[in-house]
Amino acid sequence: MKKSTIGLIIFAFGLICIIGGAQDPQMKGQSGFFVFSAILCAAGLILFLISRKRSPKRAVTAVDADGGITTEVKSTPGEAIYCVWAENTTSYSIPLGCCACSGPAERRITISCRETLGNRILSLEFPICRPCYKERYQQRWKVIEPVQMWPITSPVRRMQFKFSNHDYAEMFAKMNKGELLK
């Protein structure tokens, strides 16, 4: 069992002791019990905060015909996002490289959005390499989308795309006569 999970269990046990003791009339005079339960809560919370897993940036080597190219995988939602505005059409040209790292892609992911006017659903398939797919989609409880999109209705009908990779955003903007926002 992970230390962070043990920390949460200790915190919950201490909290349950405090709540249960507060509701029992015989425990009202037992200040040592409440002090011990509070220390248990604090220790569990500290253990959880110190030992929880953080998502650092990781380098992944994507191999193509020319050899290995080291690229950076965007692994947290707080990293840079590159916006592209493109005309709202029925089809878009999608670059061939991985949408997360621009390396060679072996898989495809489907990104969808719903337009409020006309209730139309737009779904596009973007290529993604195996390491980026594993990093973004095979983690429990967390999915980090490399591409996001939604319609913009005022003043002109456009689609806004957000990419986690600058090179891919530039290629997408160029292929679809879009505008990469600075």
Number of domains in the chain: 2
pLDDT at 143: 62
In sequence order, what are the residues at sequence separation of 6 or more whose Cβ sits closer than 8 angstroms to the Cβ of residue 168?
95, 97, 98, 99, 100, 102
The reported pLDDT for the residue numbered 10 is 92
When pLDDT is cut at 50, 70 and 90, the band that residue 15 belongs to is very high
The answer to whether position 58 is within a domain reads no
Per-residue pLDDT, averaged over 68-74, amounts to 41
Weakest mean pLDDT among 34-43, 57-66, 103-112 = 57-66
- Token output for 30: 């037992």
3-class DSSP assignment, residue 159? strand
**Structural domain span for residue 30:** 3-51
Span 39-65, average pLDDT: 67
Closest CA to 84 of 143, 129, 136, 126: 126
167 assigned to some structural domain: yes
Question: What's the pLDDT tens digit per position in 133-161?
Answer: 888 777 665 566 777 777 776 666 778 88
DSSP secondary structure string for all residues of 111-135? EEEE-SSTT-EEEEEEEE-HHHHHH
- Position 41 scores a pLDDT of 93
* Residue 70 belongs to a domain: no
For residues 83-111, average pLDDT: 86
Residue 63 has pLDDT above 50, yes or no: no
